[in-house]
Amino acid sequence: MARLELNGKQYELPEVVGSEGERAVDISALRNNTGYITLDEGYGNTGSCQSTVTFIDGENGILRYRGIPIEELAEKSTFVETAYLLIWGKLPTLQELEDFSQLLTKNEMLHEDMKYHFEGFPTHAHPMAILSAMINAAGCFVPKLLAPGDELFVIQAARLISQVRTIAAFSYRKSLGLPIIYPKPAYKYTANLLHMMFSEPYQDYELLPEVVQALDMIFLLHADHEQNCSTSTVRMVASSRANLFACASAGVCALWGPLHGGANQAVLEMLEKIHQSGDNGSKFIEQAKDKRSGKRLMGFGHRVYKNYDPRAKIIKKKCDQLLDAMHWNDPLLDIAKRLEEAALNDPYFLERKLYPNVDFYSGIIMRAIGIPINMFTVMFSIGRMPGWISNYKEILDNKEGRIYRPRQIYQGPVENRYVPIRERQ
């Protein structure tokens, strides 16, 4: 029990302890008991919920989905199996995984009328704008699915996870003026996305196992990451009892921001600028240490991790394997490795705990696969969908939950009066 003293009066506040020893002070009754609220801009020290989905220890570089270390899942699991784990809280049996995979296949096609929606977007429309709008639209075509119920939720979840890649591929083809390629039921999840993006009529894209595995790994590593901006947005919208498709659409909009899902795009843009300037990265490192230069080292540091991002270690290894398999020499990768080596040995970056994060290498992998920069955040959205659905489910399963409604500290004008327009100066 914590004690708070305000104006000479003491108040007792319950203590909450998480399963991994995280400690919090429960202030949910603070305003009723004291007339005060807390102020924590950016929610850096505020727990918005109690969740059983993902655990992060930023100080020690730990990430676990439903208690399972990310390293084990990356080595032994797949994105689809991990999606099942996140949403239903346990690893599936062989039959459960097969049933879930079949549900994904059964729901991969979009309603044909949705093609008219794609045609309404200009060619230069950003794929994230199309993705958000089309996810929302997808919920309109089977209205009975939006009714509450556990049986319907299974279909909703499978439909959303499956169709988000179809929408993504269609939006990519639309941006290039290319004909739409339909999903192929014989292909598994990630292979099917690559097929829909890069195949041509009567000529299927060659699916290299290393490419499929690398993209599947990106999806798995991004599947959830606790209460980040987009996940918190999904929970906020879900607390109003909005449907799953609307909540996921809101999550896409939040993820679109350059301070969130756009980080891997910023990394590649930084590497391209360094390469175009003729620098091998050495000059940029020195400029990044000078605040007056305006240069910022993208892909390093994290709001939560104060150690090496565990996902970065995994994806760095996968990146090396992919480029070796493709026999692909990328000058940007050489620059990236030079920046990483300098940052991991330079006292300036070590003192500030600016270690490489997952965005640093994911952009290199997607570039090697042939995914354009404006599709990077779309790939992030596909990967994050199971996490959003998991958090949506937690909100709906909590029958005592209330609509999210943060407070504020008003700093505007005090009580004023309306002045008729003819009297205003």
Q: Indicate if the pLDDT at residue 108 is higher than 90.
A: yes
Q: What pairs with residue 9 in β-bridges?
A: 6
Average pLDDT over residues 86-115: 96
Say yes or no to pLDDT of 137 above 90: yes
- Nearest in space to 222 (alpha carbons), one of 388, 370, 333, 43: 388
CA neighbours within 13 Å on the CB side: how many for 252? 28
Strands 9-13 and 62-65: unpaired
pLDDT at 352: 86
More confident residue, 123 or 109: 109
The proportion of the chain whose per-residue pLDDT surpasses 70, expressed as a percent, equals 100
What is the pLDDT, as a whole number, of residue 21? 92
| Bridge partners, residue 65, by sequence | 54, 68
Say which range, 225-229, 358-362, 383-387, has the weakest mean pLDDT.
358-362
**Strand segments (E) across 30-142:** 54-57, 62-65, 68-69
Mean pLDDT across the chain, nearest whole number?
A: 92
- Residue 123: pLDDT above 70? yes
Q: Which of 248, 256, 210, 198 is nearest to 379 (CA)?
A: 256
- Evaluate if residue 148 carries a pLDDT over 70: no
Read off the pLDDT of residues 9-57 as tens digits, 9 standing for 90 and up.
999 999 999 999 999 999 999 999 999 999 999 898 999 999 999 999 9
Among candidates 210, 219, 157, which has minimal Cα distance to 189? 219
Q: Which residue has the higher pLDDT, 237 or 356?
A: 237
Query: Taking Cα atoms as reference points, which of 283, 285, 279, 270 lies closest to residue 347?
Result: 285
> Given 117, 195, 302, 309, which residue is catalytic?
302
Q: What is the pLDDT of residue 354?
A: 85
Hey, which CATH number is domain 2-57, 3.40.50, 2.30.130, 2.20.28, 1.20.58?
A: 2.20.28
Q: Which amino acid is at 239?
A: S
Question: Which residue reads 């659905």 in tokens?
Answer: 389
Distance CA 55, CA 67 (A): 7
Find the mean pLDDT for residues 278-290. 88
The whole-number pLDDT of residue 142 equals 81
Answer yes or no: 359 catalytic: yes
Does pLDDT of 92 surpass 90?
Answer: yes
The answer as to CATH 1.10.230.10 being correct for domain 263-369 is yes
pLDDT for res 304? 85
Residues 160, 389: contact at Cβ < 8 Å? Answer: yes
Q: Would you list the DSSP string of 149-165?
A: -HHHHHHHHHHHHHHHH
Q: 420: exposed, middle or buried (C-beta count within 10 Å: 0-12, 13-18, 19+)?
A: exposed
> What stretch(es) of the chain map to CATH 2.20.28?
2-57
Q: Which of 149-153, 179-183, 252-256, 382-386 has the lowest mean pLDDT?
A: 149-153
Show Cβ contacts of residue 62 under 8 Å, excluding neighbours closer than 6 positions. Answer: 55, 56, 69, 310
- Per-residue pLDDT at 151: 76
Buried/exposed code over 224-245 (b: 16+ C-beta within 10 A; e: otherwise): bbbbbbbbbbbbbbbbeebbbb
Alpha helices in 199-309 (DSSP H): 209-221, 229-238, 244-255, 263-276, 282-288
Burial 128-145 (b: 16+ CB within 10 A, else e): bebbbbbbbbbbeeeeeb
What one-character-per-residue DSSP string does 311-357 give? HHHHHHHHHHHHHHHHT---HHHHHHHHHHHHHHH-HHHHHTT--B-
pLDDT digits (tens, 9 = 90+) for 286-299: 888 888 888 888 88
State residue 172's pLDDT score. 93
Decide if 302 is catalytic. Answer: yes
Q: pLDDT value at position 424?
A: 92
Q: CATH 1.10.230.10 residue ranges in the chain?
A: 263-369
**pTM above threshold 0.75:** yes
pLDDT tens digits, 55-86: 999 989 999 999 999 999 999 999 999 999 99
| Mean pLDDT value across residues 371-389 | 96
| Residue 365: its H or E element | helix 358-369
For residue 303, what pLDDT is reported?
79
- Average the pLDDT over each of 230-234, 339-343, 388-392, 409-413 and give the range with the smallest value: 339-343
Residue type for position 358? V
Mean pLDDT of the 235-263 span: 93
pLDDT tens column, 1-11: 899 999 999 99
Give the whole-angstrom CA distance, residue 234 versus residue 387. 10
SS3 194: helix
Of 358, 363, 360, nearest in space to 375 by CA: 363
